[in-house]
Structure formats: C-alpha cells, structure tokens
Amino acid sequence: MLDRATFGVLGLGGAGLGNLFAAITDAEATDAIEAAWQGGVRYFDTAPHYGLGLSERRLGAVLTGKPRSEFVVSTKVGRVLVPDVNPRQFKDDDGFDVPADFRRVWDPSPKGVRRSLEDSLTRLGLDSVDVLYLHDPDVYDLESGIQQALPELEKIRAEGLVGSIGVGSNSAEALLACVQRADLDLIMLAGRFTLLEQPALAELLPACVERRVGVVNASVFNSGLMARPTVPDEVPYNYAQAPANIIERARRLAAACTELGVELPTAALQFGLLHPAVVGVVAGAASAEQVRENLGRMQTPLPDDFWSDLHDRGLIPDPTGWVS
C-alpha cells in the first residue's frame, strides 16, 4: 500500500488553480505551486473538471520544469471535456470562474477513460501521471463507473501506464462500494472524514485498512467552512452556502479550539491525518500565502490531550483505537 512517505503529510489540491469560486491569474497560480514546492510538497492533484482543464494546464506548466522523479501527480477520468461551439452561457456553471468553452460529458467506457487520460497528459505536458482516479461516479452513474471504468483502470495499471488507481468522491457510501468491488490502490475521500463530520469512520475507513487501500483525505476544510479561525455567516459547505445548523456546529468547534489554544484550521488540517488508513491530506490553495499558511498549520504542535479534550466536550468521536 502507498504510504505517507510517498505523499508527504500535505499535498496541493488543484481546484483553486482552476478558478474555483473566484478567478486567479496565471502568475498567482504559478506562485502557489512554487510555494508548495519550496515548502516540500511533492504530491499534486488535479482533474479535467477543475476549471475545464485550466488547473491541469497551470499545474503542468510548472511541473514540467521539475525533476520528474521527485513528484507525484494525480488526475482523474470520468468527465471528458468536449468543445462547446455554441455555449449556453458565457461562464462555466459548475463553480469555476472560467469561460464555458467546453462541456463535461460523463463517459466511463474504456474508450472514454483512455481518451480522458490522453487529453489530461496533453494539458499537463507530461508523459505520465502517477495516480489515476475515477472522479465522482456517484454524481452520474455509480454502477456504470464500477462496471466499466474501474476494470479499464485496472488494465491501464497492468499495462504500466499509471502506477496506482483509485476513485475520488464526496460520498463515503459510493467509495465503499468501489473498494469492495475493485482492486484499488487508493481512494480520494473528500469531506467525509473531517473535524466537522466523520461518516467514513464506521465502514469505509476500516474496509480500507482491511484491503490495504490508502486514503488521500481531501476537503478537510469542508469546502472552506473550517478554513478560518472564526466562522462567518456566509461561508461555503460542500460547494454551496452552509446551512445554519452546520455553521453552528463549526462555531462550537472553533470556540472549543480557541479555548484550548488552537486555531480551527490548524485542528482541521491535523485531524485529517489521524486515522491510520490515511496516507496524506490534500488541501487546495489559490495563492502562495494560503499554501504557506497550510504548511505552517500542519506543522504546528498541538497541546497534549487536545483530541481527547474535544471528545470530552462531545465534539468528536472517541479517537481511542483509531488514532494513528
């Protein structure tokens, strides 16, 4: 199983590089990637979905100048980008501030999987990626993803075109089905094992330990909800406005963390590494400053008994027996 030595404790997620929620310049994206590299980050994740290919292009423009043996890069298949010659809107309507000159088409077929990989390599300017995930099959058709795409990923791995394969999703249930029915190396779990909520703890993470499937833990800030020491009224959660009950829970966590001398984002980042199934945490960033802040938070020492104190306050499950 791939381990933390492969991924490091913190990787750079590429959604922000694709203008998630707000546009950034090419220079700002480059600065963020370079700051990650200078800070020791060697795992970089991206996807065609992120900015309709913009994230892959920006990431590849920097990584092509780095020694190939020194970094791990992953991208995703499932959504094929098709040129839209008559776009129905000027901007992408899926959360990314980019022109809608392409549209996403779900294609889990063997041909679609290979086309997606080839297109990604072209955008990245690389000869290969190290990890290839099936992206959000539950958003479209989980069963076709399991029956068509995952066997093709296994073939691509057997041919030596990628080193490791997996599935990325926001759904613990969907990921559990994939882990049980395919020979995966990894999953990318987004937002389902965080300081805020842990639905993956009951079945998915134990199944990953049993089957030796590594977990790359993403969206540990729950799309931004946990990214600040205090929680504002207007804040995203699962890529939409957070409901009142979720904001209230986040604020109780923030208050407890403050009382214990820890800022909420620091706790959120480090919580993501607690389970032994987790091989690394991926955090997105749209600026060099955000990258450096995340790196600093991941390295900040926590008080003794911090996690047990949060448990005693009824804010997290009992970590006894699963803290790595």
Residues marked as catalytic: 50
**311 in Cβ contact with 323 (< 8 Å):** no
In angstroms, the CA 305 to CA 79 distance is: 44
In angstroms, the CA 21 to CA 43 distance is: 23
Q: Which residues pair with 281 in a beta bridge?
A: 10, 217
Rg of the chain over Cα atoms, rounded to whole angstroms, equals 19
Tokens of 290: 């955000």
In angstroms, the CA 120 to CA 75 distance is: 7
- Can you spell out the DSSP letters for 55-82? HHHHHHHHHTTS-GGG-EEEEEESEEEE
In angstroms, the CA 140 to CA 49 distance is: 14
Q: Is residue 163 packed enough to be buried (19+ CB in 10 Å), middle (13-18) or exposed (0-12)?
A: middle
Burial of 206-220, coded b for 16+ CB within 10 Å and e otherwise, reads: ebbbeeebbbbbbbb
